């Protein structure tokens, strides 16, 4: 998933408000998973997605290449749908695969067009209802950002420990079975966990030294304001929702089989 990462650009997609991007992605995922128009709807949806992404400056080919990572999942989805009842199992399998690809591709587009600050802002807004239970949305979002920031660092630590152990003859033996390989991972986990805990302690101290307080009134560096593009995106999302409901609703064209 190397190419699925934020790539700064200045296009209409990038300029969308973080909430529009996040909610749009959610609506797209729900719509694309549940729309009632079968393979034709999925193919049209995929086409629309690729056109919008390309026009919005997303490197579509790179994103499509990442579908390779989903190969096993796609095969399983296809097989499950092939074995279902009815004569049109083949079409159903293709449709199911297209839907999985559509969900993945738009999620990848979201990551490509959203800076970490935008994702944080969206998470904060999404977590706001948790405030009713006394959970601070901003703190929760900060935890997720720190997780994002430290994931590569922790993986790097793990790799260093693995190499250090291998240098002393404790590496994974070639040709070992999956169970043996899993067992050989345990010596890596404990030192990685210890280092991560130490890092977390140091980071907490550094954050406090930089004025971080759970009770403090923090301001926000990034200010996000909705623009005309957000209105257009909202109308498009509304159209998707209404069309789907019309398709499924009793009395609609696809209702009742």
Partner 1 sequence: MTRLTFDRVDYRSTPTASPILGEVSFSLAAGEVAGLFGRNGAGKSTLTRLAAGLVLPTAGRVEVAGICTSTRDPDIQRRVGILFQDADRQIVGVTVEEDLAFGPENLGMEPAVMRTRVRSTAERLGLAPWLRRPVAELSGGMRQKLALGGVLIMEPDFLLLDEPTSQLDPWARREFWEILLDLRRERGLGILVVSPRPAETDRLERALVLEAGRLVFDGPIADLWAAPDRVAAWGVRVPEGIRWRQAAGFSVPAGSGGNGGGAGR
Applying CB under 8 A, among 75, 208, 238, 253 the residue interacting with partner 1 is 208
Q: Which residue among 135, 190, 205, 232 contacts partner 1 (CB under 8 A)? A: 205
Q: Are 36 and 244 in contact (CB under 8 A)?
A: yes
Residue from 133, 169, 219, 257 binding partner 1 (CB under 8 A): 219
Enclosing H/E stretch for 190: helix 178-209
10 lies in the site for partner 1, by CB under 8 A: no
Q: Write the DSSP assignment of 137-186 as a string of letters.
A: HHHHHHHHHHHHHHHHHHHHHHHHHHHHHHHTT-SPPTT--HHHHHHHHH
Rg for the chain, CA atoms, rounded: 23
Piece in contact with partner 1 (CB under 8 A), picked from 17-25, 93-101, 178-186, 201-209:
201-209
Q: Which is nearer to partner 1, 155 or 239 (CB)?
A: 155
Instruction: Output 61 or 200, the one with its CB closest to partner 1.
Output: 200
| Contacting partner 1 within 107-166 (CB under 8 A) | 115-117, 145-146, 148-149, 152-153
Instruction: Pick the closer one to partner 1 by CB: 88 or 139.
Output: 139
Residue 197 interacting with partner 1 (CB under 8 A): no
Residue 84 within binding range of partner 1, rule CB under 8 A: no
Binder of partner 1 out of 87, 134, 211, 251 (CB under 8 A): 211
Nearer to partner 1, 134 or 152 (CB): 152
44 near partner 1, judged by CB under 8 A: no
Q: Is 206 helix (H, G, I), strand (E, B) or coil?
A: helix
Residue 123 · residue 144 · CB < 8 Å = yes
Closest approach, Cβ 75 to partner 1, in A, equals 33
- In the list 135, 220, 245, 255, the residue contacting partner 1 (rule: CB under 8 A) is 220
Give the contacts of 179 (CB within 8 A, at least 6 positions apart): none
Q: Pick from 213, 251, 256, 257: which binds partner 1 (CB under 8 A)?
A: 213
Q: CA nearest 145: which of 156, 157, 134, 137?
A: 137
Taking the complex as a whole, how short is the minimal distance between the CB of residue 213 and partner 1, in angstroms? 7
| Residue-wise DSSP of 26-84 | HHHHHHHHH-SSHHHHHHHHHHHHHHHHHHTT--HHHHHHGGGGGHHHHHHHHHHHHTS
Helix (H) or strand (E) holding 211: none
The span from the CA of 235 to the CA of 226, in Å, is 14
**Nearer to partner 1 by C-beta: 38 or 57?**
57
Applying CB under 8 A, the residues found at the interface with partner 1 are: 6, 8, 115-117, 145-146, 148-149, 152-153, 199, 202-203, 205-213, 216-221, 223
């Amino acid at each position: 998933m190397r190419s699925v990462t934020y790539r700064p650009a200045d296009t209409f997609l990038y300029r969308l408000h973080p909430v529009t991007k996040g909610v749009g992605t959610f609506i797209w995922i729900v719509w694309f998973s549940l729309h009632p128009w079968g393979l034709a709807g999925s193919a049209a949806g995929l086409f629309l997605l690729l056109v919008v992404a390309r026009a919005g400056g997303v490197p579509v080919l790179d994103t499509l290449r990442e579908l390779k990572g989903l190969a096993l999942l796609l095969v399983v989805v296809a097989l499950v749908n092939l074995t279902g009842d009815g004569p049109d199992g083949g079409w159903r399998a293709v449709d199911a695969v297209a839907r999985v690809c559509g969900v993945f591709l738009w999620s990848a587009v979201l990551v490509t067009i959203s800076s970490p600050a935008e994702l944080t802002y969206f998470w904060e807004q999404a977590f706001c209802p948790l405030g009713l239970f006394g959970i601070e949305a901003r703190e929760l979002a900060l935890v997720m950002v720190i997780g994002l920031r430290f994931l590569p660092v922790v993986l790097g630590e793990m790799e260093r420990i693995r190499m250090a152990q291998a240098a002393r003859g404790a590496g994974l033996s070639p040709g070992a079975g999956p169970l043996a390989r899993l067992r050989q991972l345990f010596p890596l986990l404990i030192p990685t966990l210890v280092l991560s805990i130490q890092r977390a302690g140091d980071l907490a101290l550094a954050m406090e030294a930089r004025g971080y307080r759970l009770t403090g009134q923090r301001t926000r560096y990034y200010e996000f304001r909705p623009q005309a593009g957000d209105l257009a995106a909202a109308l498009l999302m509304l159209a998707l929702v209404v069309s789907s409901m019309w398709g499924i609703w009793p009395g609609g064209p696809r209702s009742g089989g």
